[in-house]
Each structure stands twice: as C-alpha cells, then as structure tokens.
Chain A
C-alpha cells in the first residue's frame, strides 16, 4: 500500500477486555515498531521487529502486552485484560533503514 495502515482507528474496550490492534506496514519494509502515545505526551517505544524476529520488547509495560509479526509483514499488538492506564494512541511505524514511516494510530479508550 501507499503507507502504513492501522486498524481499527478507534477502539473502546471495557476494563478487563482483550484487544488486538493491527498494523499493515509499507510493503518490503523489514523493520516494524510499535509506540504508545499517551495524551499530551510524545510516543514511547514498545517493541521492534526485524522481519518476523522480535529483537527488542524492552518497552512493553507489562506481560499483558504481546506483539507478533509471524510472516514478517502484518503485525498485531495484543493487550490482555485492559486497564484504564492502557488508554492511549498506539502507533505503528515501518522502515527500510533510512526513515521511519508512521501510521495514523489506533486510539484505545478503556472504560
């Protein structure tokens, strides 16, 4: 596609519910990143993939957060048993090594 695509754009979840956020990177981009952006803050790194390998997950805030990229293309960020503090915009970015291109994000609201 023309850019990084994320779905859904908006998600409202009840506390305790599991959610899955999808990212379609730019075709051919080896690197894929997930960031979390709280209201009024800059994006914070969550995790990084190179192809299907998850090379860095140091930013995942708890074991309720899990990300995968099984075929080295589409990635899914899963949050189990959502809490109110998980409310944020989740950004996906892909890169071929020179510049990171960001999707529009998924705004997650936990009620």
Chain B
C-alpha cells in the first residue's frame, strides 16, 4: 500500500540556518505530494504541493521538488525563522477520482532557537 517515510525529529536549528526535512514515498501510479504544517494550537495547513514529476512547490520561502526517480519530496528553506517552529507532515494523494484521501508521514517537529 501507499506509505510516506519522513525524517524523524525533533529537529532544532538556530535562526537563519538552512533547513532540510527528508521525505520519501511508496505508491503506485503518479501521486500528488504535499507538505502540511501544524503550528502550536492550530489545525493542519497546506504549506505547498506538487502534482507531477519535476514540479517544484513553494510557499513562505519553503520549497520541495517532486523527484520521481528517487521517490522523494524533501522540504527545504534557506533561512529559517523562529516563527517556522511547528510540526511538518509530508503526505501523498493518489489520483483516484472520487477519493482524495491523504496518506501522511509521522511528522517532524521543528524548533528554531533565536
């Protein structure tokens, strides 16, 4: 079945450091890939997405590129801020009409220290 494997946390970085959170997936066909973020006390929010191979999703300075050859969708940011402290989830969705359910990784807790 479908699965998402995420870099285990927690991850602690200093402000302005470079961030990479690894994500690899297993799925048949050509899934869409997502990064969701959960800030303290809030619900899951879509951060970025990519729907086909070589697509790059980007938002709020975060980027991730859909790599079909390595089945990966690693999240990167060049200079993190304290406000980026949150839990990040990688997810996939198979392109089945009529069912858009998401398969999530276990999440990576990121803490940025000033």
Structural contact, A91 and B44, CB atoms closer than 8 A = yes
Q: Which of A43, A55, A91, A105 has the most CB of B within 10 A?
A: A43
The bracket for how many chain A residues form the interface is 20 to 34
Given contacts A56-B99, A56-B101, A100-B100, contact A4 B46 (CB under 8 A): no
Instruction: List, in ascending order, chain B residues with CB within 8 A of A45's CB.
Output: 101-103
Instruction: Give residues 79-111 of A contacting B (CB, 8 Å).
Output: 91, 93, 95, 97, 99-100, 102-105
Interface residue SS majority, chain B: strand
Count of B interface residues, CB-CB < 8 Å:
22
Segment touching A, from B11-19, B61-69, B73-81, B104-112: B104-112
B98 at the interface (CB under 8 A from A): yes
Instruction: List, in ascending order, chain B residues with CB within 8 A of A100's CB.
Output: 46, 100, 102
Structural contact, A102 and B44, CB atoms closer than 8 A = yes
Given contacts A100-B46, A102-B43, contact A40 B101 (CB under 8 A): no
Sort A-B residue pairs by CB-CB distance and give the 8 closest, nearest first: A42-B104, A102-B44, A104-B43, A102-B43, A45-B101, A42-B106, A43-B104, A42-B107
Residues of chain B having any CB pair with chain A under 8 Å: 4, 6, 36, 41-46, 49, 89, 91, 98-107
A-B pairs with beta carbons under 8 Å apart, 8 shown? A31-B100, A42-B105, A44-B104, A45-B102, A100-B102, A102-B45, A104-B41, A104-B42
